[in-house]
Amino acid sequence: MVTSIRSEKILAVAPMMDWTDRHCRYFLRLISNHAWLYTEMVTTGAILFGDQERFLRFNEAEHPVALQLGGSDPDALAKAAAAGERFGYDEININIGCPSDRVRHGRFGACLMAEPDLVAAGITAMRSRINCPVTVKTRIGIDNQDDYAFLRDFVGKIEEAGCRHVVVHARKAILSGLSPKENREIPPLNYPRVHRLKQEFPGMTVVLNGGLKTASQIVAEIDYVDGVMIGREAYQNPSALIDMDEALFGVHGERSTRHQIVRRFLDYVETERQRNVPLKSMTKHILGLFNGLPGARAWRRHLSEHAVHNDAGPEVIEAALSHVPELGPAAAA
């Protein structure tokens, strides 16, 4: 176990569509005290013309929590950011990293790396409307625009517009020919490029994202950047966050066991069921909690088979828990 304390550093859980909804974030907050939690990307259109309550509401326990926006029109970004701030988000982030066709045709996501002036105008418009930080999540490049100078010029532009915090997924995006999933696996990771960015922009908070899975990996990277953002590992193996949290912020009191974490989640599930939220929309986020431990498969199977019924409630989670032997503190696996 790593016990060093680097409390000025940032640990964040990445925005992930269909994954980091409010139920997932509530659950992850039970695991990590310090991690910044990001919403799924929400388009400016959904906020301005859709059901704001549905897209923006969250639980107070989630703080610190950042809203990620997808969009490019400065006025729409500013209005959506203002709505986000009204709902109480601690940070508004713009997605300049998503490579999907749908997003590209909407002229937002990673393709905006090629339009730094438009991104800067968006940041300026947002900053004139809100007080909380405006941040950017981006890639190290797109297609053949993948040298360091391209990234440096992009970050220079957003810094000029007043953005002081950039999250960099350390691989480029290939905008045609690769699916979003392939775009998270095929272009190679390049951490040194993100380290260099931090050196050249000392006033910018630079957060490294992509391929980080263990506390020791984070400890190896953290001296070069201001923070780390964890995506898939935080979702698929959420208890990894316990080690990561401790590696960056030190040990405070006794660790919870995974069983205790689940029991705390039950109160939340009970409340949400009373509001008619289907059980499966909460249990899908907790399937990976016991990964690698005895009973993990029975846990997953019980939840998958029984949480789908319309009248299923917290008792399904309690029954699933009885399939898993109660071990010591959560990261002992």
Ligand X SMILES: Cc1cc2nc3c(=O)[nH]c(=O)nc-3n(C[C@H](O)[C@H](O)[C@H](O)COP(=O)(O)O)c2cc1C
Instruction: Please report whether residue 227 would count as binding ligand X according to CB under 6 A.
Output: no
Q: In whole angstroms, what is the distance from residue 118 CA to residue 112 CA?
A: 8
Min dist CB 213 to ligand X, Å, is: 7
Residue from 9, 23, 79, 137 in contact with ligand X (CB under 6 A): 137
What is the token pair recorded at 14? 């990445």
Min dist CB 38 to ligand X, Å, is: 7
CA 142 → CA 73, 115, 120, 174, 265, distances in Å? 21, 12, 18, 6, 40
Give the interface size with ligand X as a residue count (CB under 6 A): 23
DSSP letters for 102-146? HHHHTT-GGGGGG-HHHHHHHHHHHHHH-SSPEEEEEES-BTTB-
Min dist CB 185 to ligand X, Å, is: 9
CA 313 centroid distance within chain: 27
Instruction: Please report whether residue 40 would count as binding ligand X according to CB under 6 A.
Output: yes
Nearer to ligand X, 84 or 210 (CB): 210
Which residue's CB atom is positioned nearest to ligand X? 231
- The DSSP element (H or E) to which 225 belongs, if any, is none
Nearer to ligand X, 68 or 135 (CB): 68
Residue from 10, 11, 16, 262 in contact with ligand X (CB under 6 A): 16
CB 175 within 8 A of CB 111: yes
- Say whether 132 is catalytic: no
Q: In whole angstroms, what is the distance from residue 332 CA to residue 257 CA?
A: 9
Instruction: Please report whether residue 230 would count as binding ligand X according to CB under 6 A.
Output: yes
- Give the bridge partners for 61, in sequence order: none
Residue from 129, 152, 157, 184 in contact with ligand X (CB under 6 A): 184
Min dist CB 51 to ligand X, Å, is: 19
| Strands of the chain, DSSP E | 10-13, 36-43, 65-70, 91-96, 134-139, 165-169, 205-209, 227-230
Min dist CB 134 to ligand X, Å, is: 15
User: What amino acid positions are annotated as catalytic residues?
Assistant: 98
Q: Which residues bind ligand X (CB under 6 A)?
A: 14-19, 40-41, 68, 95, 97-98, 137, 169, 184, 209-212, 230-233
